[in-house]
Amino acid sequence: MDNFVRIVEVGARDGLQNESVVLDMQDKITLIENLIKTGLKDIEVGSCVSPKWVPQMAGSTEIYEKISKPDGINFSLLTPNLRGYEAARAVGCQEVAIFTGASETFTQKNINCSIAESLERFEDIMSRAKSDGVRVRGYVSCMVDCPYEGAIDPSAVAEVTGRLLDMGCYEVSLGETIGTATPDRVEAVWDACLERFDAGQLAGHFHNTYGMAIANVYASLKMSIRTFDSSIAGLGGCPYAKGASGNVSTEDLHYLLTHMGYDTGIDEEALMQAGKAIMERLGRPTRSNAAIAYWKKREA
Protein backbone atom coordinates (compact mmCIF):
# COMPACT_ATOMS: atom_id res chain seq x y z
CA MET A 1 0.00 0.00 0.00
CA ASP A 2 3.08 2.25 0.06
CA ASN A 3 2.34 3.65 -3.36
CA PHE A 4 -1.42 4.14 -2.84
CA VAL A 5 -2.80 7.64 -3.28
CA ARG A 6 -6.35 8.27 -2.14
CA ILE A 7 -8.61 10.38 -4.34
CA VAL A 8 -11.66 12.04 -2.81
CA GLU A 9 -14.15 12.76 -5.58
CA VAL A 10 -15.87 16.10 -4.96
CA GLY A 11 -17.47 16.67 -8.38
CA ALA A 12 -21.04 16.04 -7.25
CA ARG A 13 -20.61 18.69 -4.53
CA ASP A 14 -17.84 21.21 -5.26
CA GLY A 15 -18.37 20.68 -8.98
CA LEU A 16 -22.10 20.96 -9.28
CA GLN A 17 -22.52 23.66 -6.61
CA ASN A 18 -21.07 26.20 -9.03
CA GLU A 19 -22.41 25.02 -12.37
CA SER A 20 -24.89 27.39 -13.98
CA VAL A 21 -27.00 24.45 -15.18
CA VAL A 22 -28.85 23.10 -12.16
CA LEU A 23 -29.22 19.37 -12.73
CA ASP A 24 -32.28 17.48 -11.67
CA MET A 25 -32.09 14.77 -9.06
CA GLN A 26 -31.96 11.86 -11.50
CA ASP A 27 -28.99 13.41 -13.34
CA LYS A 28 -27.10 13.83 -10.07
CA ILE A 29 -27.88 10.24 -9.10
CA THR A 30 -26.65 9.04 -12.51
CA LEU A 31 -23.42 11.00 -12.03
CA ILE A 32 -22.82 9.38 -8.64
CA GLU A 33 -23.71 5.89 -9.89
CA ASN A 34 -21.20 6.37 -12.71
CA LEU A 35 -18.57 7.47 -10.17
CA ILE A 36 -19.29 4.38 -8.07
CA LYS A 37 -18.39 2.20 -11.09
CA THR A 38 -14.90 3.75 -11.30
CA GLY A 39 -13.50 2.22 -8.12
CA LEU A 40 -13.37 5.55 -6.26
CA LYS A 41 -13.63 4.87 -2.53
CA ASP A 42 -14.50 8.38 -1.31
CA ILE A 43 -17.37 10.27 -2.91
CA GLU A 44 -18.80 13.57 -1.67
CA VAL A 45 -22.51 13.41 -2.48
CA GLY A 46 -23.62 16.99 -1.77
CA SER A 47 -24.20 19.42 1.07
CA CYS A 48 -26.74 20.13 3.78
CA VAL A 49 -26.56 23.92 3.51
CA SER A 50 -29.21 26.56 3.05
CA PRO A 51 -30.86 26.19 -0.39
CA LYS A 52 -31.12 30.00 -0.41
CA TRP A 53 -27.33 30.23 -0.27
CA VAL A 54 -26.51 27.36 -2.64
CA PRO A 55 -29.60 26.31 -4.64
CA GLN A 56 -27.61 23.77 -6.65
CA MET A 57 -27.24 21.58 -3.55
CA ALA A 58 -30.95 21.35 -2.72
CA GLY A 59 -32.06 17.73 -2.46
CA SER A 60 -28.65 16.38 -1.41
CA THR A 61 -30.11 14.22 1.37
CA GLU A 62 -32.70 12.68 -0.99
CA ILE A 63 -29.87 11.92 -3.41
CA TYR A 64 -27.92 10.32 -0.58
CA GLU A 65 -30.93 8.14 0.21
CA LYS A 66 -31.46 7.06 -3.38
CA ILE A 67 -27.94 6.17 -4.50
CA SER A 68 -26.74 2.60 -4.19
CA LYS A 69 -24.26 2.45 -1.36
CA PRO A 70 -21.95 -0.49 -1.96
CA ASP A 71 -19.80 -1.56 1.00
CA GLY A 72 -16.32 -0.13 1.08
CA ILE A 73 -17.17 3.32 -0.30
CA ASN A 74 -17.39 6.39 1.95
CA PHE A 75 -20.22 8.68 0.92
CA SER A 76 -20.13 12.07 2.64
CA LEU A 77 -22.20 15.22 2.98
CA LEU A 78 -21.00 18.74 3.83
CA THR A 79 -22.55 20.10 7.04
CA PRO A 80 -21.99 23.72 8.16
CA ASN A 81 -23.97 23.45 11.41
CA LEU A 82 -25.91 21.09 13.67
CA ARG A 83 -29.00 21.44 11.51
CA GLY A 84 -27.03 20.20 8.52
CA TYR A 85 -25.56 17.38 10.60
CA GLU A 86 -29.02 16.27 11.71
CA ALA A 87 -30.26 16.29 8.12
CA ALA A 88 -27.31 14.11 7.09
CA ARG A 89 -27.89 11.70 9.98
CA ALA A 90 -31.61 11.46 9.22
CA VAL A 91 -30.69 9.66 5.99
CA GLY A 92 -28.07 7.48 7.71
CA CYS A 93 -24.96 9.35 6.55
CA GLN A 94 -21.81 7.94 8.21
CA GLU A 95 -19.35 10.65 7.16
CA VAL A 96 -19.76 14.43 7.18
CA ALA A 97 -17.43 17.28 6.28
CA ILE A 98 -17.24 20.50 8.25
CA PHE A 99 -15.77 23.56 6.59
CA THR A 100 -14.20 26.83 7.61
CA GLY A 101 -11.31 28.98 6.39
CA ALA A 102 -8.00 30.56 7.24
CA SER A 103 -9.37 33.94 6.14
CA GLU A 104 -11.88 35.86 8.26
CA THR A 105 -13.50 37.63 5.32
CA PHE A 106 -13.90 34.48 3.23
CA THR A 107 -15.39 32.58 6.17
CA GLN A 108 -17.84 35.41 6.81
CA LYS A 109 -18.93 35.45 3.16
CA ASN A 110 -19.07 31.66 2.90
CA ILE A 111 -20.79 30.62 6.12
CA ASN A 112 -21.85 33.95 7.62
CA CYS A 113 -19.75 33.75 10.79
CA SER A 114 -16.22 34.29 12.03
CA ILE A 115 -13.63 31.50 12.10
CA ALA A 116 -13.99 31.32 15.91
CA GLU A 117 -17.79 31.08 15.66
CA SER A 118 -17.51 28.34 13.04
CA LEU A 119 -15.26 26.32 15.36
CA GLU A 120 -17.81 26.75 18.16
CA ARG A 121 -20.57 25.41 15.88
CA PHE A 122 -18.39 22.47 14.98
CA GLU A 123 -17.97 21.50 18.64
CA ASP A 124 -21.68 20.63 18.67
CA ILE A 125 -21.32 18.55 15.52
CA MET A 126 -18.22 16.81 16.85
CA SER A 127 -19.79 15.77 20.12
CA ARG A 128 -22.81 14.32 18.31
CA ALA A 129 -20.58 12.64 15.71
CA LYS A 130 -18.52 11.07 18.46
CA SER A 131 -21.53 9.49 20.12
CA ASP A 132 -23.03 8.47 16.73
CA GLY A 133 -19.75 6.94 15.51
CA VAL A 134 -19.71 9.27 12.48
CA ARG A 135 -16.44 10.16 10.74
CA VAL A 136 -15.77 13.87 10.33
CA ARG A 137 -13.51 15.40 7.71
CA GLY A 138 -12.44 19.05 7.97
CA TYR A 139 -11.85 21.66 5.28
CA VAL A 140 -9.81 24.83 5.60
CA SER A 141 -10.33 27.22 2.68
CA CYS A 142 -7.85 29.83 1.49
CA MET A 143 -4.71 27.82 2.22
CA VAL A 144 -2.67 30.31 0.16
CA ASP A 145 -4.81 33.21 -1.08
CA CYS A 146 -8.17 34.68 -0.16
CA PRO A 147 -10.30 36.41 -2.83
CA TYR A 148 -10.89 39.32 -0.39
CA GLU A 149 -7.76 39.50 1.80
CA GLY A 150 -5.00 38.34 -0.58
CA ALA A 151 -2.11 36.25 0.75
CA ILE A 152 -2.78 34.21 3.88
CA ASP A 153 -0.05 33.47 6.42
CA PRO A 154 0.77 29.72 6.42
CA SER A 155 0.79 29.80 10.23
CA ALA A 156 -2.88 30.86 10.19
CA VAL A 157 -3.68 27.82 8.03
CA ALA A 158 -1.77 25.52 10.40
CA GLU A 159 -3.58 27.06 13.38
CA VAL A 160 -7.12 26.37 12.07
CA THR A 161 -6.04 22.93 10.82
CA GLY A 162 -4.79 22.11 14.32
CA ARG A 163 -8.08 23.17 15.87
CA LEU A 164 -10.04 20.87 13.53
CA LEU A 165 -7.71 17.93 14.17
CA ASP A 166 -7.82 18.56 17.94
CA MET A 167 -11.59 18.46 17.92
CA GLY A 168 -11.54 15.05 16.23
CA CYS A 169 -11.49 15.39 12.44
CA TYR A 170 -9.79 12.30 11.03
CA GLU A 171 -8.26 14.44 8.27
CA VAL A 172 -8.17 18.07 7.17
CA SER A 173 -8.29 19.02 3.51
CA LEU A 174 -6.58 22.31 2.73
CA GLY A 175 -8.43 24.21 0.03
CA GLU A 176 -6.54 26.27 -2.53
CA THR A 177 -9.88 27.90 -3.09
CA ILE A 178 -9.20 30.37 -5.90
CA GLY A 179 -6.53 28.47 -7.82
CA THR A 180 -3.94 31.27 -7.81
CA ALA A 181 -1.14 29.49 -5.93
CA THR A 182 2.11 28.29 -7.43
CA PRO A 183 3.87 25.21 -5.99
CA ASP A 184 6.45 27.20 -3.99
CA ARG A 185 3.67 28.83 -1.99
CA VAL A 186 1.85 25.54 -1.50
CA GLU A 187 5.10 24.03 -0.20
CA ALA A 188 5.38 26.82 2.36
CA VAL A 189 1.94 25.88 3.71
CA TRP A 190 2.81 22.18 3.91
CA ASP A 191 6.07 23.16 5.67
CA ALA A 192 4.08 25.01 8.33
CA CYS A 193 1.61 22.12 8.72
CA LEU A 194 4.09 19.24 8.61
CA GLU A 195 5.97 20.78 11.53
CA ARG A 196 2.87 20.04 13.61
CA PHE A 197 0.89 17.23 11.93
CA ASP A 198 1.48 13.95 10.12
CA ALA A 199 1.11 13.97 6.34
CA GLY A 200 -1.54 11.26 6.78
CA GLN A 201 -3.81 13.77 8.56
CA LEU A 202 -3.75 16.17 5.61
CA ALA A 203 -5.21 16.34 2.10
CA GLY A 204 -4.77 18.76 -0.81
CA HIS A 205 -7.76 20.40 -2.53
CA PHE A 206 -6.58 22.39 -5.53
CA HIS A 207 -8.67 24.55 -7.81
CA ASN A 208 -7.35 25.08 -11.30
CA THR A 209 -8.09 28.70 -12.24
CA TYR A 210 -4.55 29.37 -13.50
CA GLY A 211 -3.78 25.78 -14.53
CA MET A 212 -1.54 25.29 -11.48
CA ALA A 213 -3.52 22.54 -9.75
CA ILE A 214 -1.62 19.56 -11.13
CA ALA A 215 1.73 21.27 -10.39
CA ASN A 216 0.50 21.83 -6.85
CA VAL A 217 -0.43 18.16 -6.54
CA TYR A 218 3.06 17.20 -7.71
CA ALA A 219 4.70 19.52 -5.17
CA SER A 220 2.46 18.07 -2.44
CA LEU A 221 3.28 14.48 -3.42
CA LYS A 222 6.96 15.30 -3.05
CA MET A 223 6.17 16.46 0.49
CA SER A 224 4.46 13.13 1.34
CA ILE A 225 0.83 14.22 0.98
CA ARG A 226 -1.10 11.16 -0.19
CA THR A 227 -4.75 12.30 -0.34
CA PHE A 228 -6.13 14.68 -2.96
CA ASP A 229 -9.60 15.98 -3.76
CA SER A 230 -10.66 16.27 -7.38
CA SER A 231 -13.73 16.72 -9.57
CA ILE A 232 -14.68 14.58 -12.51
CA ALA A 233 -14.08 16.57 -15.74
CA GLY A 234 -12.80 19.49 -13.61
CA LEU A 235 -16.33 20.56 -12.75
CA GLY A 236 -17.04 23.43 -10.48
CA GLY A 237 -15.70 26.08 -8.14
CA CYS A 238 -17.02 27.73 -4.99
CA PRO A 239 -20.03 30.06 -5.14
CA TYR A 240 -18.39 32.43 -2.62
CA ALA A 241 -15.05 32.68 -4.44
CA LYS A 242 -15.87 34.69 -7.55
CA GLY A 243 -13.79 33.76 -10.59
CA ALA A 244 -12.51 30.53 -9.06
CA SER A 245 -12.77 27.66 -11.49
CA GLY A 246 -13.19 23.94 -10.90
CA ASN A 247 -11.03 21.52 -9.00
CA VAL A 248 -8.19 19.62 -10.59
CA SER A 249 -9.94 17.03 -12.74
CA THR A 250 -10.02 13.47 -11.49
CA GLU A 251 -8.89 12.27 -14.93
CA ASP A 252 -5.76 14.51 -14.92
CA LEU A 253 -4.97 13.57 -11.32
CA HIS A 254 -5.37 9.88 -12.16
CA TYR A 255 -3.10 10.28 -15.21
CA LEU A 256 -0.36 11.98 -13.18
CA LEU A 257 -0.52 9.44 -10.38
CA THR A 258 -0.63 6.27 -12.46
CA HIS A 259 2.14 7.47 -14.80
CA MET A 260 4.29 8.20 -11.74
CA GLY A 261 3.75 4.63 -10.52
CA TYR A 262 1.15 5.31 -7.83
CA ASP A 263 -1.89 3.12 -7.36
CA THR A 264 -5.31 4.81 -7.21
CA GLY A 265 -7.61 1.78 -7.41
CA ILE A 266 -9.49 3.50 -10.25
CA ASP A 267 -10.56 1.99 -13.55
CA GLU A 268 -9.56 4.46 -16.26
CA GLU A 269 -12.23 3.49 -18.79
CA ALA A 270 -15.03 3.81 -16.22
CA LEU A 271 -13.61 7.17 -15.11
CA MET A 272 -13.51 8.49 -18.67
CA GLN A 273 -17.06 7.28 -19.31
CA ALA A 274 -18.28 9.05 -16.14
CA GLY A 275 -16.68 12.32 -17.27
CA LYS A 276 -18.07 11.99 -20.80
CA ALA A 277 -21.60 11.35 -19.53
CA ILE A 278 -21.73 14.37 -17.21
CA MET A 279 -20.28 16.74 -19.82
CA GLU A 280 -22.80 15.54 -22.40
CA ARG A 281 -25.52 16.27 -19.87
CA LEU A 282 -24.10 19.74 -19.09
CA GLY A 283 -23.64 20.43 -22.79
CA ARG A 284 -20.11 21.76 -22.66
CA PRO A 285 -16.59 20.39 -23.20
CA THR A 286 -14.61 18.76 -20.41
CA ARG A 287 -11.90 20.73 -18.59
CA SER A 288 -9.72 17.62 -18.32
CA ASN A 289 -6.75 17.49 -20.68
CA ALA A 290 -6.28 13.79 -19.96
CA ALA A 291 -9.89 13.13 -20.97
CA ILE A 292 -9.53 15.14 -24.20
CA ALA A 293 -6.39 13.16 -25.12
CA TYR A 294 -8.01 9.85 -24.15
CA TRP A 295 -11.05 10.34 -26.37
CA LYS A 296 -8.96 11.67 -29.28
CA LYS A 297 -6.80 8.55 -29.13
CA ARG A 298 -9.86 6.29 -28.90
CA GLU A 299 -11.46 7.96 -31.90
CA ALA A 300 -8.28 7.97 -34.05
Distance, in Å, from the CA atom of 291 to the CA atom of 131, rounded to the nearest integer, reads: 43
Distance, in Å, from the CA atom of 76 to the CA atom of 219, rounded to the nearest integer, reads: 27
Enumerate residues 6+ apart whose C-beta is below 8 A from 300: none
In the complex, what is the shortest distance from the CB of residue 194 to Mg ion, in angstroms, rounded to a whole number?
Answer: 22
SS3 234: helix
Q: Which does 48 bind (CB under 5 to 8 A by kind): Mg ion, ligand HMG, none?
A: ligand HMG
Among 11, 154, 175, 204, the residue binding ligand HMG under the rule CB under 6 A is: 175
# binding residues, ligand HMG (CB under 6 A): 26
First to last CA, the chain: 36
For residues 102 and 143, is the Cβ–Cβ distance under 8 A? yes
Stretch that binds ligand HMG, among 209-217, 234-242, 250-258, 259-267 (CB under 6 A): 234-242
In the complex, what is the shortest distance from the CB of residue 5 to Mg ion, in angstroms, rounded to a whole number?
Answer: 19
| 235 touches ligand HMG by CB under 6 A | no
Distance, in Å, from the CA atom of 247 to the CA atom of 262, rounded to the nearest integer, reads: 20
Among 99, 122, 228, 294, the residue binding ligand HMG under the rule CB under 6 A is: 99
In the complex, what is the shortest distance from the CB of residue 237 to ligand HMG, in angstroms, rounded to a whole number?
Answer: 8
CA 29 → CA 14, 35, 57, distances in Å?
A: 15, 10, 13
Length of the chain: 300
Distance, in Å, from the CA atom of 128 to the CA atom of 167, rounded to the nearest integer, reads: 12
| 125 touches ligand HMG by CB under 6 A | no
When the beta carbons of 69 and 189 are compared against Mg ion, the nearer one is: 189
Distance, in Å, from the CA atom of 58 to the CA atom of 46, rounded to the nearest integer, reads: 9
Q: Looking at residues 42 to 61 of the shown chain, list those that interact with ligand HMG (rule: CB under 6 A).
A: 47-50, 52-54
Q: Which does 54 bind (CB under 5 to 8 A by kind): Mg ion, ligand HMG, none?
A: ligand HMG
| 14 touches ligand HMG by CB under 6 A | yes
SS3 101: strand
Catalytic residue list: 238
Residue whose C-alpha is closest to residue 66's, from 98, 125, 26, 112: 26
Among 139, 190, 255, 294, the residue binding ligand HMG under the rule CB under 6 A is: 139
Among 9, 14, 145, 187, the residue binding Mg ion under the rule CB under 5 A is: 14
- Residues at the contact surface with Mg ion, assessed by CB under 5 A: 14, 238
- Residues at the contact surface with ligand HMG, assessed by CB under 6 A: 14, 17, 47-50, 52-54, 80-81, 83-84, 99, 110-112, 139, 141, 175, 177, 205, 207, 238-240
